[in-house]
Every structure is written in structure tokens, then in C-alpha cells.
Amino acid sequence: MATITFDTEFLRRLEQLQLVSRKLFRGAGKGERRSRRRGLSVEFVDYRNYVAGDDLRYLDWNLYGRLDQLFLKLFEEEEELRVTFLLDTSGSMDFGTPTKLAHALRLTAALTYVGLSAADTVRISSFAGEMRDVERAVSGRHQALRVFRALESLEASGPTALNAAVRRLVTKVRIPGLAIVVSDFLDEAGYEEGLRQLLGRGFEVAVVHVMAQDELDPRWGGDFRLVDSETGQVREISMGQTTLARYRAAVEGFCGELEQFCTSRGIHYLRTLTTDPVDRLCLDSLRRMGLMR
């Protein structure tokens, strides 16, 4: 079980960031995010005709004086952003140095801290064979430590079932928000259906594709009997230069397809290796891709 700790300086810098969504979502409560709802903030947005029963405090009396018609001033509503993390805890995540799961947990923890610091509501679900809620809609920075401990308790096992997890998620979530899927996407059933469902449900989706260096560029050669850590399937293979080159091409093709799938649908895509420092990812990569600012 990996311990998730960040130094104070990093946390302080995270506190200055916030997760960004291109869409405007409705929130369940007050927050610091613009909402599609018209609310009571100080930011004027629009007018609409007065309807009986409207709060007279928001009538534009100056306009009434000029036009002799009643218009109601509409202000932005500032609500919370609902951030949902879908964290892959399948058996394939238990590879790499450090493991893909450890890297995903640290990254999720950092992003959670950003969300909690920005008064967003954070929900963390893990999926392997089945979906499991790690944290149900927490908000407030004081929840961070608890969330961290909850994350630390996660272990990698079982097969990947992203599509099934998303199906369950969309049925459970009433209000969509920002969905961040952290996974290696090594799912025999594919990832396309799940991501499409998230988009269809109205989520703004960000994909963090976690890969291990050894997975991207294996450094072992010889005659092997490859055993799938999730399914136990076996393939015999003789690793040589040509095979390695073909494998690298296959990996690049796989990653490229995923990235193409995401970018063509407005999904944020970030590929990260387990060796990438989380602070650099948060302070640099994620900001550049527009998921944080």
C-alpha cells in the first residue's frame, strides 16, 4: 500500500490552481464556478421579461423608465464543480516502477486536492472487475487527508471493465461534471463505448493515460511465455529486435488511436509515464492541456 504524501510547497501551489471545465455545469450547491443557472452573483448576464412572482429586487427600474416595460436582470450563478475520478485499479495497473496504480493514485490525489481546494465536489470511483466508490462527493480541503487515506487503500487486481464501470456511473450520477478517467486503457472490451457514454451523459471528459516505461519500451529479450496478469491468457513469443520494433509500433498505434479518439471528441488527453513527476504533470502538463489553470 502506497503512502500518498506531498510536500507543503507543492500543496501550496496546488491550492492556487483549479480544475477547468470548458462546459458550464449545474452544481448541487454553491461554489466558486460559473453555472448555467442564473443566480445571485454580482456578474450581470442578461435580461428577461418579468413574470409574475419574480423577485422585484432584480427588476431593472432604469429600463422600465425608458421603455415602460418590466425586465428582470439575470446574474450568474456560482456553483460548485462536480469532479468525478474514474480510477483504474485493474491488475494491469500493478506494473512498472513505480507501479501505474501508485502513479495514478498520486496524480488523482493531487487533482483531488486541487478540486477540494477550489470548493469543488469530488467523487472518486475505482473500477476493475466492477465499479466501486472510493469517495462519494466530498468537498472542502479538510477532506483531503481522508481522501488520501482512502486512495492509499486501493490495490490493483481483477480485469479491466471500463465500459461497465461507466455504465454504472452514468446511472448513479444525477448531475454531470468533469470526469477524469485515469487508466492504462488495456481493456479487451475497448474504451470507446465508455468514453462515449460519459460524453453522452454530458460529462466533460479528461483522459489520463498511464503507462509504464517497461510497457512502452520493453528491455527484455528471449523466448517467453507471456501470461496476461488479468485474464491469465498465454502467448508464446520470441523477443528480438524485430519483434520489439513491431511491439513498439503496436503500442504507438494503440496510444495514437486513443489520443485520436479523445481529441476528435473534445476529450482532454494526457499520456503519462509512471516515472513522470506528479508535480510537473500538475504544474505544467495539465495546465498546458487546459485541464487546470
Partner 1 sequence: MGILNLAALWMAWTIPVLVALYLLKLRRQDRVIPSILLWQKMLRDTRANAPFQKLRRNLLLLLQLLVLLAVLAALARPYIQWRQASVSRRIIVLDTSASMQATDVQPTRFDAARARVRDLIDAMRGGEELMLIEAGGRTRIASSFTSDRGALRAALDKVVVEDAAGDLAEAASLAISVGKTQRECEVLFFSDGSNANLAGLQTAGLQAQFVRFGESGDNVGITAMEVRSGRGMDRRPQVFLTVVNFSAEPKVVDLGFYLDGTLIETRNLALDPGMESRQLLQRPAPESGILEARLEVEDALSVDDRAWAVLYPGRTVRVLLASRQPDPFLERILLLDPRVDLSRVEMGLYDPAISGFDLHVLKGFSPPAPPSANTLLVAAQVVEWAPIQEVKERPLIVDWNRNHPVTRFCQFDGISLESAVIPQLPAWGEPLVESQEGAVIWAGQNGIQRIVSVGFDPLQSNWPLRVSYILFFENALSWMDVIAQADQIRHVRAGQVARFQADAGVPEVVVSGPDGFRRRLEVGLDRTVLLSDTMRSGVYRIEGMDEPWVFCINTLSRVESAILPGEKIDFGRHGELAAGTVQPAMREVWRWFILCALLVISFEWWVFHRRAWV
CB of 15 to partner 1, least distance (A): 35
- Residue ranges binding partner 1 (CB under 8 A): 91-95, 100, 160, 184, 186-188, 212, 215, 220-231, 233, 235-243, 246-247, 249-251, 253-254
Least distance from partner 1 to the Cβ atom of residue 222, Å? 6
**CA 265 vs CA 9, 194, 200, 202, 259: distances in Å:** 36, 13, 11, 12, 10
Nearer to partner 1, 134 or 210 (CB): 210
Q: How far apart are CA 68 and CA 89, in angstroms?
A: 63
End-to-end CA distance of the chain: 31
CB of 221 to partner 1, least distance (A): 7
Q: Which is nearer to partner 1, 20 or 93 (CB)?
A: 93
Single-letter code of the amino acid located at 256: G
* All residues at 6 or more sequence positions from 207 whose CB lies less than 8 Å from its CB, including other chains: 180, 181, 183, 185, 195, 258, 262, 267, 268, 269, 270
In terms of Cα–Cα distance, which of 99, 254, 109 is closest to 185? 254
- Closer residue to partner 1, CB minimum distance, 221 or 290: 221
Q: Residue 270: beta bridge partners?
A: 208
Residue 208: CB minimum distance to partner 1, A: 16
CA 37/CA 79 separation, integer angstroms: 9
- Could you tell me the smallest distance in angstroms from the CB atom of residue 227 to partner 1? 5
Closer residue to partner 1, CB minimum distance, 91 or 177? 91
**What size, in residues, is the chain?**
293
C-alpha–C-alpha distance, residues 147 and 212, integer Å: 25
The Cα 116–Cα 272 span in angstroms is: 23
Cβ closest to partner 1, residue 55 vs residue 220: 220
Instruction: Closer to partner 1 by CB, 183 or 197: give it.
Output: 183
Report the nearest approach of partner 1 to the CB of residue 82 (Å): 31
